Structure 1
Amino acid sequence: MTERVRADSAHITPSAHYTGYVWFRHQLAEPAFATAFGRWVHGCVTPINWGARLGFGLDIEDFLLQRHLLIDAQLRQAIEQRGATQVVEIACGLSPRGRRFRQRYPQLDYLEADLPPMAARKAALLDGQGWLDERHRVRSVDILAEDGPQSLSALFANLDRKRPLVVITEGLVNYFQRPLIEDFWTRLARVLADFPQATYLTELYPDLREHPRYRQIRWGVGLIGRLTRGGYPLHYRSEAEIAEAFRRCGFAAVDVLNPQEHSAELGLAQGRMPSLVRVIEART
């Protein structure tokens, strides 16, 4: 794998600041997670979002909340119904999920991980608030590293192989071309096979060509790619294709969830347009 391909993962950080500010705005995060850069990016995006909402019924923050809250709901289910006591959140960025879930479930071991610069910033944030301890930690990881100290195997090395585990990636998948992300899923499934029960929660934006606002979506995707100096490819044409891809990568059971079908339980409005995002729960 070339260094140029590996460097693509560095493009994710600006969106981490933006989403961190969105979580704060919607009372899902404490003020420490809202950065000045995140506030500035949010201010830049707000007129675009306003126009998309008014003209096309599309709202970026709605989609962000849909995925975030549905992943939260599936994580609670894994903890309360399947006894998960270990959580690894990869590409954690400025996600407040670790803080919220450690407050709600003190028995959790919560490991957050990201590329070294983001991991260092997240560790400093949590430590500065007195939130880090032996059950809440931050590590560096590069999902494209096949071996070495930042590989998946190194990240999972000190976890308890006798206890159920949940792995989360949010806001990660669509920054990578399909072969790269499927390679990551294959290596992740191989690591998770060592645990008695393992659940992987993530979200992706499929290539929904039948969506009534498909042309506007493609324009928005191009804009995101320019803002992040990378790309934002849409993967798969249907929920069946998504499920088949995860099974091909080594997951035994796959549920593809449409957040719009869970709007009431998530406390969200139904929305004028079909949801663009899908949340995946894959189990080994």
Structure 2
Amino acid sequence: MAEPVRADSAHITPSAHYTGYVWCRHQLAEPAFATRLGRWIHACVAPIAWGARLGFGLNIEDFLLQRHLLIDARLRQAIERRGATQVVEIACGLSPRGRRFRQRYPQLDYLEADLPPMAQRKAALLDGQGWLDRQHRVASVDILAGEGPHSLDSLFAGLDPQRPLVVITEGLVNYFQRPLIEQFWRRLAEALRAFPAATYLTELYPDLREHPRYRQIRWGVGLIGRLTRGGYPLHYRSEAEIAEAFRACGFAAVEVLDPQVHGAELCLPRGRLPSLVRVVEARR
């Protein structure tokens, strides 16, 4: 029997609406990606975000932009330097990346995937704008499904195993406890064996206890968990621990990127405090 979509993945959707609105605010997305729910959540969070900026020097939207733009930069490198022609963005939510990259690289096959309700909404949005075609598609996936129609194997079945692939997850990792997300990474690494070259791009927020605003970060993490009806655990104590975990899950080459170090040429937002986010590029 096929494994059902698990309810413990469903709490992520509110943050998809929030980030969709943030991308529009910063001119990274067209107005179609901004929803009423996204505007409402942003308005609710705005006083808290203002207080965090003023009192602690922490800017939520800066962290979001750092991760988003650095993943974009690494995706461009994979396309232009390593010949990637297929992209799968899992937990795509209201990300505008597929739209932007299909405009810039018409040869690209771009597959967006999310839980069925979000995938249906994304497909309707893109189709309503006339943006869906044979090279830009949307499918359903549940990263916790080991088999069945929503599994990784089912998602990758329609890809060309002779062509290089990039897989992206953004805004996903820290919604799951470490054993669950590492189980997904192991399944992903195994699935990527079918391709001549494969790159996985993601971001995560490590448990940076030496950060000067660690106490405030922990409070903010708890708030995010309540707003999204789930938890938001911080994984790993250092960049070395992150790289070791990815290698243990089956990735041979791992690079852990600090946006304030590796994103200097991208003109990423820079706060007066160290960045909280890390972008990971892992290859098979």
TM-score (norm 2): 0.98
Q: After superposition, where does 1:20-99 map in structure 2 within 5 Å?
A: 20-99=20-99
Q: 1:257 to 1:143 in 2, by over 3 A?
A: same
- Given that residues 186 and 250 in structure 1 are in contact (C-alpha distance below 8 angstroms), is that contact kept between their aligned partners in structure 2? yes
Residue 157 of structure 1 corresponds to 157
Q: Which amino acid in 1 is paired with 2:255?
A: D
Residue 282 of structure 2 corresponds to 282
- Given that residues 66 and 269 in structure 2 are in contact (C-alpha distance below 8 angstroms), is that contact kept between their aligned partners in structure 1? no
Residue 268 of structure 1 corresponds to 268
* In structure 2, C-alpha distance between the alignment counterparts of 1:4 and 1:104, rounded to whole Å: 37
Q: 1:269 to 1:16 in 2, by over 3 A?
A: closer
Higher-RCO chain (CA-CA 8 Å, sequence separation at least 6): 2
* In structure 2, C-alpha distance between the alignment counterparts of 1:259 and 1:6, rounded to whole Å: 33
Residue 128 of structure 1 corresponds to 128
State the SS of the aligned residue for 1:193. helix
Q: Which amino acid in 2 is paired with 1:261?
A: V
* In structure 2, C-alpha distance between the alignment counterparts of 1:127 and 1:229, rounded to whole Å: 29
- Given that residues 5 and 145 in structure 2 are in contact (C-alpha distance below 8 angstroms), is that contact kept between their aligned partners in structure 1? no
Q: 1:15 to 1:189 in 2, by over 3 A?
A: same
Q: Which amino acid in 2 is paired with 1:52?
A: A
Deviation at 1:262, TM superposition (A): 3.3
Q: Which amino acid in 1 is paired with 2:264?
A: A
What is the percentage of aligned positions where both structures have the same residue?
Answer: 85
Residue 231 of structure 1 corresponds to 231
Deviation at 1:188, TM superposition (A): 0.2
- Given that residues 263 and 269 in structure 1 are in contact (C-alpha distance below 8 angstroms), is that contact kept between their aligned partners in structure 2? no
CA RMSD between the two structures: 1.2
Residue 111 of structure 1 corresponds to 111
Residue 11 of structure 2 corresponds to 11
C-alpha distance after superposition, 1:58-105 (max 9, x if no partner): 000000000000000000000000000000000000000000000000
Q: After superposition, where does 1:138-217 map in structure 2 within 5 Å?
A: 138-217=138-217
- Given that residues 112 and 138 in structure 2 are in contact (C-alpha distance below 8 angstroms), is that contact kept between their aligned partners in structure 1? yes
Q: Which amino acid in 2 is paired with 1:243?
A: A
Alignment pair present for 1:257 and 2:257: yes
Deviation at 1:7, TM superposition (A): 1.4
- Given that residues 263 and 270 in structure 1 are in contact (C-alpha distance below 8 angstroms), is that contact kept between their aligned partners in structure 2? no
State the SS of the aligned residue for 1:103. helix
Q: Which amino acid in 1 is paired with 2:227?
A: L
* In structure 2, C-alpha distance between the alignment counterparts of 1:244 and 1:6, rounded to whole Å: 29
How many residues align structurally?
282
* In structure 1, C-alpha distance between the alignment counterparts of 2:217 and 2:152, rounded to whole Å: 33
Deviation at 1:261, TM superposition (A): 1.0
Q: Which amino acid in 2 is paired with 1:193?
A: R
* In structure 2, C-alpha distance between the alignment counterparts of 1:156 and 1:235, rounded to whole Å: 27
- Given that residues 221 and 232 in structure 1 are in contact (C-alpha distance below 8 angstroms), is that contact kept between their aligned partners in structure 2? yes
* In structure 1, C-alpha distance between the alignment counterparts of 2:90 and 2:156, rounded to whole Å: 11
- Given that residues 243 and 255 in structure 1 are in contact (C-alpha distance below 8 angstroms), is that contact kept between their aligned partners in structure 2? yes
* In structure 2, C-alpha distance between the alignment counterparts of 1:97 and 1:134, rounded to whole Å: 17
* In structure 1, C-alpha distance between the alignment counterparts of 2:24 and 2:66, rounded to whole Å: 15
